[in-house]
Amino acid sequence: MSQNKYAPLSGREFPRYSAIKTFFRLPYVAKDEDYEIGLFGVPFDGGVSYRPGARFAPSHIRQTSSLGRGYHWTRGIQVFNQKKVADIGDCSTVPISIDQTYEKIESYTSELVNLNKKFIAVGGDHSMTLPILRALKKKHQKPLSFIHFDAHLDTYPAAWGCEYHHGSFARHAVEEGLVNPKRMIQIGIRGPLADGSDLDFVNRHGITVKTIDDVRDKSLNDFVKELPEFLKEEPTYLSFDIDCLDPAYAPGTGTPVPGGLTSYEVQKILRNLKIGNLVGGDIVEVLPSSDQSDITSLMAVDVMFEILCLL
Ligand code: MN
Ligand code: MN
């Protein structure tokens, strides 16, 4: 098949505010077509503890992504010429059942990876990352290396007696052996913590935590140099919670935390990650109803594009 089949819709022919909305104006194709990287939505926010509404993010980000382009300025590559990328629609979800939704996300992801596809999942709240990691662990038969951008550790205990929610996915991922805590890095962390014991989990498992002070205490160039390198033989997953950014740069999110990363710091860090085998990624916790002037969803589109380049 020629690569033209996967070219984004031309903005010359159809101005960017027009036409049916897909991610980056890419063709919408079935999951088993011959694309290489599939972009899909997971419209589920049944795991949130505060402001709901992230279920509306996939369709909103599709709309905003009309402004996305394929050429990466600093990398000098045109992604959509080099890779066949497609919008493969949404994973089906059950808005009132996290258990049923987890089953659906895991089987959807399993189907994808068994077709040897790479992917970016667009949330939804952060609880959705757990079933994705379960599917990837099954496929690769070993714990993944894991890069996690967030304001929060997401290693918190059960809430209201419920084990699974958007603040506990990372703890379950470690406890279930889905990710290798020694090859896990969390970036942008700044609490809030109920008390100091919240840090026990990451300390006990040897997880690398890069707080906002770690990013700021030296020059950004020096900070990115100390990031670990992820080798070819380690399947690696990247999960991006938009609240790692400061609320000034990403107001549209469910649990905003002041004092976060800037848009440029995020770009710079993503551009300097060295990942030999990135198998997939996600972008979660965008809340369109709290967004202003699409600041947050435009940043989500930008992060998607950076992850695409890493893939
Ligand atoms: Mn968060
Ligand atoms: Mn999170």
Angle 274-275-281 (CA atoms, 0-180°, nearest 5)? 125
Q: pLDDT band for position 2 (50/70/90)? A: very low
Beta carbons of 253 and 298 less than 8 angstroms apart: no
Q: Please tell me the number of the ligand nearest to residue 124's CA.
A: 2
- Which stretches of 38-179 are DSSP H helices? 57-64, 79-82, 98-114, 129-140, 169-175
In the reported structure, the alpha carbon of residue 222 is separated from the centroid of ligand 1 by a whole-number distance in angstroms of: 25
**Tens of pLDDT, residues 121-177:** 999 999 999 999 999 999 999 999 999 999 999 999 999 999 999 999 999 999 999
Residue closest to 242 by CA, chosen among 173, 132, 175, 151: 151
CB environment 186-222: b (16+ within 10 A), e (fewer):
bbbbbeeeeeeebbebbeebebbbbbbeebeeeeeee
In the reported structure, the alpha carbon of residue 15 is separated from the centroid of ligand 1 by a whole-number distance in angstroms of: 35
* Distance from the first to the final alpha carbon of the chain: 21
> Which residues have a Cβ under 8 Å from the Cβ of 14 and sit 6 or more positions away?
none
In the reported structure, the alpha carbon of residue 169 is separated from the centroid of ligand 2 by a whole-number distance in angstroms of: 8
Mean local confidence (pLDDT), 17-37:
97
In the reported structure, the alpha carbon of residue 167 is separated from the centroid of ligand 1 by a whole-number distance in angstroms of: 7
Judged by phi (left if over 0) then psi (alpha if -120 to 50, else beta), residue 137 lies in: alpha
The neighbouring-strand residues paired with 144 are 179
- pLDDT score recorded for residue 43: 98
Q: Please tell me the number of the ligand nearest to residue 261's CA.
A: 1
- pLDDT score recorded for residue 1: 44
**Tens of pLDDT, residues 97-120:** 999 999 999 999 999 999 999 999
In the reported structure, the alpha carbon of residue 276 is separated from the centroid of ligand 2 by a whole-number distance in angstroms of: 24
Residue closest to 129 by CA, chosen among 155, 99, 105, 159: 105
Distance (Å, whole) CA 283 – CA 170: 15
Distance (Å, whole) CA 307 – CA 311: 6
Mean local confidence (pLDDT), 189-196:
81
* Domains in the chain: ranges and CATH: 3-310 (3.40.800.10)
- Flag whether pLDDT at 3 surpasses 70: no
HSE (side-chain half, CA atoms, 13 Å) at 102: 17
In the block, tokens 């007696």 appear at: 161
HSE (side-chain half, CA atoms, 13 Å) at 6: 24
Tokens of 21: 């909305």
Q: Please tell me the number of the ligand nearest to residue 192's CA.
A: 1
Mean local confidence (pLDDT), 276-280:
97
- pLDDT score recorded for residue 226: 93
In the reported structure, the alpha carbon of residue 20 is separated from the centroid of ligand 2 by a whole-number distance in angstroms of: 30
Q: Give pTM, 2 decimals.
A: 0.97
Q: Looking at residue 8, what DSSP letter applies?
A: P
In the reported structure, the alpha carbon of residue 153 is separated from the centroid of ligand 2 by a whole-number distance in angstroms of: 7
Mean local confidence (pLDDT), 62-84:
93
In the reported structure, the alpha carbon of residue 152 is separated from the centroid of ligand 1 by a whole-number distance in angstroms of: 5
